[in-house]
Amino acid sequence: MTPLSLSRRAWIDLCLLALIWGGSFLSIRIALDELAPLSAVVHRVLWAAAILWCVVFFKGCTIPKTWRVWRDFFVMGLLNNVLPFTLMAWGQLHIETGLTAILNAATAIWGVLVAALVFSDERLGPRRAIGVVLGFGGVVAAIGPGALTGLDVSSWAQIAVIAGTISYALAGSWARAALAEHPPLVAAAGMLTCACLVLVPLAHVVEGPLRLALAPATWGAIAYYSVAATALAYVLYYRILATAGAGNLLIVTLMIPPVAIVLGAVVRAETLSPSAYLGFAVLGVGLVVLDGRLCHVLAKKGPQ
């Protein structure tokens, strides 16, 4: 099926979402200068949940009351928040923000593969199989051959980020199977609330009481990644999904890493290896093939 066309408003929303999510990697890394990973994630889900519930109540959305719905929210919170947020926050302690963003782009590759295994209408045809293979090749290239011969803390950090992308992919299939009938805002608020129920006590046991006496820079980073990159981004994400379709949302995965790379270089003087850029290029080609837009255009044009 050909993706929906992108209006000017949709393009603006896509660019805004890419800027917001691209900046989230830097803001999380700044917060990690003062906060341990679990505490940084608690600040993310706690404040984002509070904001989304305010929006839910303001809009007068119906709040689910059955245990089955909240069970589904709980699973979504684990897959889409608890596991990936925690794994990636720990990973960012040991690798560059730009590399984290590049590896994060593999979420779309895993998403296609998981959906093909779960849903009968998402089968992996030849074009999509080629896109997946290219995507995996890009991830391997971004990590670099050295990481495959000896596992150090940087290697484990990259593995943690990749594991986070797999969790995001599982969350995407779970959302389609279990949450499709619920309004996106309610589902987002519900899953973040359930994530809080897991992360708040876990962080208290592992890292101690949640700290509120933080430096202004840390609070600024928290405000950005919880309010803008989580609460606002969810609203923007679902608006693009409704107006432009899931296929066009793949574009944002290609727009995020350059933003994160530039911010990491300017603010924290980070540099990436040539293999990271090569990996992003190969991964980007894989995402373009998965999207099918270029293939569709070439097929329409035919031989010249």
For residue range 48-64, what is the model confidence (pLDDT) as tens digits? Answer: 999 999 999 999 999 99
Decide if pLDDT at 223 tops 90.
Answer: yes
What is the overall mean pLDDT for the chain? 87
d(CA 117, CA 119): 6
Give the structural domain span for 124.
Answer: 8-301
Q: Is residue 181 part of a domain?
A: yes
Q: How far apart are CA 55 and CA 215, in angstroms?
A: 28
Residue 2 counted as domain residue: no
Residue 299: pLDDT band (50, 70, 90) is very low
Number of domains the chain contains: 1
pLDDT band at 247 (very low <50, low <70, confident <90, very high): low
Residue 1 within any structural domain of the chain: no
Q: 124 in a domain, yes or no?
A: yes
- Give the pLDDT of residue 1: 46
The answer to which of 160-164, 180-184, 222-226 has the lowest mean pLDDT is: 180-184
Q: Compute CA distances 173 → 73, 74, 236, whole Å.
A: 13, 15, 20
Q: How confident is the model at residue 246 (pLDDT cuts 50, 70, 90)?
A: low
Residue 3 included in any domain: no
Tokens of 131: 């896109």
User: What phi-psi label fits residue 62: left (phi over 0), alpha (psi between -120 and 50 degrees) or beta?
Assistant: beta
Mean pLDDT of 1-5: 52
- pLDDT per position as a tens digit, 96-152: 999 999 999 888 888 888 888 888 877 888 888 888 888 888 888 887 766 556 678
* Residue in 148, 139, 161, 145 with CA at minimum distance from that of residue 279: 139
In a domain, 190, yes or no: yes
**Is 300's pLDDT higher than 60?**
no
